[in-house]
Amino acid sequence: MSIADSGDQSVSLDIASAAAGRGPLAMEAISISKDFRLSRSQTLHAVREVSFGLYRGAVVALVGESGSGKSTVARLLAGQEPLTAGSIMLDGAPIDISTHGAFRRYKSAVQLVFQDPFSSLNPVHTVGYHLERPLRLHQASEKGRLERTGRPGKKEITALLKQVRLTPAEQFLPKYPYELSGGQRQRVSFARALAARPSVLLADEPVSMLDVSIRLEMLGLLDDLRRDFQLALLYITHDIASARYFADEVLVMYAGQIVERGPAEQLTQHPAHPYTQLLVASAPDPDNLGSTLRAGAKRDARAPEGANLAATGCPFSPRCPFADDRCREESPALRRVSPTRAAACWRLEIAAPEVLAGTPSLPDHGGVGT
């Protein structure tokens, strides 16, 4: 077991990504950080030294609560915010978004899908217009110049709609967003992202605004698109259960840091970091009707929420049941616990002895397909 020095960057940990088996590396974030200056004296470290890779045809899930920095990571990868530190590689080369043309080429390869299909589509434009524009812009940039005359054919637009299963496509072209249901709007968002023929798709809570009965269908659609287009997919969510089903690798984010990463099934069934354990324990458990909720009713509900992030030490230490003095003083770095898993915690021996002792055998129900 190698224990990384606290000053060590997590890149050097050399943890094999569970997503790597699916395809070649498409995008890599190397120790990226983002600070927001709130005032002269206050700085918010929204993202701190986050590293991971996205592989073609694989899904990496970024799980965390609101405010943990997961959407900021997506915005950084999409080139919408400048990095404070670190670098992002696309197909092995550092990304270049310095000029207008370069940025457009970058956008052709890396597309973002937003959470809210009600506000991410322009209410005054039709579905057809929403898809025509990216087709025109990005196909032109592929050719190196913007063709002002050539309009993308209706055929291409309807093909896109068919890919996201909005059929009969012709009937959807003249429709405005308000005429569509939430699921249909999100399909249009997917189609718009696909119009650029991206290799990387960053999906920021793509289904959390949708009804439960539709979510699954949409995740299934995303999964099909990932397979059909060999997309490298970053799936950002606060729902760790959907990450279990949908993702190859799960990264758990807390207060701007990745606190745990590993293959989806292993991580969700045997969480190592106390925060991941809390996340897993908080998910509704229908097999244990009522009991956990009612037992949990006794504990002080104030503790988790009222507690602020620690100024020093492990950011989770104020909420952590295992925290000791070291946790409150020194921030732990990601530490390798198995060839594919790592967690940032000083007290893993106590928090998750079975994970440290070796990857616990998973109950034989599928596991992560590689």
Partner 1 sequence: MSAARGDRAAGLGDAPLSTGQSAMEPVLAIRDFSVVYRTKGGDVRAVDQVNLDLHAGEVVGLVGESGSGKSTLAYGACRLLRAPALITSGSVRYQGRRMATPAEIMQLRPDQLKHLRWREIAIVFQSAMNALNPILSVRDQLLDVIHAHLRISREEAREKAASLLDLVGIPRSRLRSYPHELSGGMRQRVMIAMALATDPEVVIMDEPTTALDVVVQRDILAQIVELKERLNFAILFITHDLSLLLELADRIAVMYAGQLLEIGTGSEIQHEPAHPYTKGLLNSFPSLRGPRRELTGIPGSPPDLRQPPPGCPFLPRCAYGTDDCTHVDMSLARVATSPDPEHVTACPFVLPETPIRSAPAARPATTGHPTDTSALVASAAADGEPSHEELTP
Q: Does 14 bind partner 1 (CB under 8 A)?
A: no
Q: How many CB atoms lie within 10 A of CB 238?
A: 16
User: What span, in angstroms and rounded, lies between the C-alpha atoms of 321 and 317?
Assistant: 8
Q: Using CA atoms, how far apart are residues 196 and 202, in angstroms rounded to an integer?
A: 13
Closest to partner 1 by CB, 33 or 163: 163
Residues numbered 136-165 forming contacts with partner 1, rule: CB under 8 A: 165
Torsion 168-171-176-181 (CA) sign: negative
Q: What angle do CA 87, 102, 50 make, to 5 degrees?
A: 20
Among 2, 41, 42, 66, binds partner 1 (CB under 8 A): 66
The verdict on 168 binding partner 1 (CB under 8 A) reads yes
* Binder among 100, 145, 155, 365 for partner 1 (CB under 8 A): 365
Q: Which of 245, 328, 356, 359 binds partner 1 (CB under 8 A)?
A: 245
Q: How far is the CB of 99 from partner 1 (least distance, A)?
A: 38
Distance, CA of 113 to CA of 202 (rounded, Å) = 6
Residue 122 zone, left/alpha/beta (φ > 0; ψ -120 to 50; rest): beta
Q: CA-CA-CA-CA torsion for 49, 55, 56, 62, nearest 10 degrees?
A: -60
Q: Which span (1-9, 109-117, 151-159, 242-250) binds partner 1, by CB under 8 A?
A: 242-250
Among 166, 191, 250, 323, binds partner 1 (CB under 8 A): 166
Return the residue of 44, 89, 159, 214 that touches partner 1, per CB under 8 A: 214
Size of site (CB under 8 A) for partner 1: 70
Nearest to 247 by CA among 260, 255, 237, 259: 237
Binding piece for partner 1, criterion CB under 8 A, among 40-48, 121-129, 131-139, 274-282: 274-282
Kind of pairing, strands 25-37 and 232-237?
unpaired
Q: Which residues make up the interface to partner 1 (CB under 8 A)?
A: 59, 65-66, 165-168, 171-172, 175, 179-184, 211-217, 219-221, 223-224, 238-242, 244-246, 248, 265, 268, 278-290, 292-294, 296-302, 304-306, 363, 365-366, 368-369
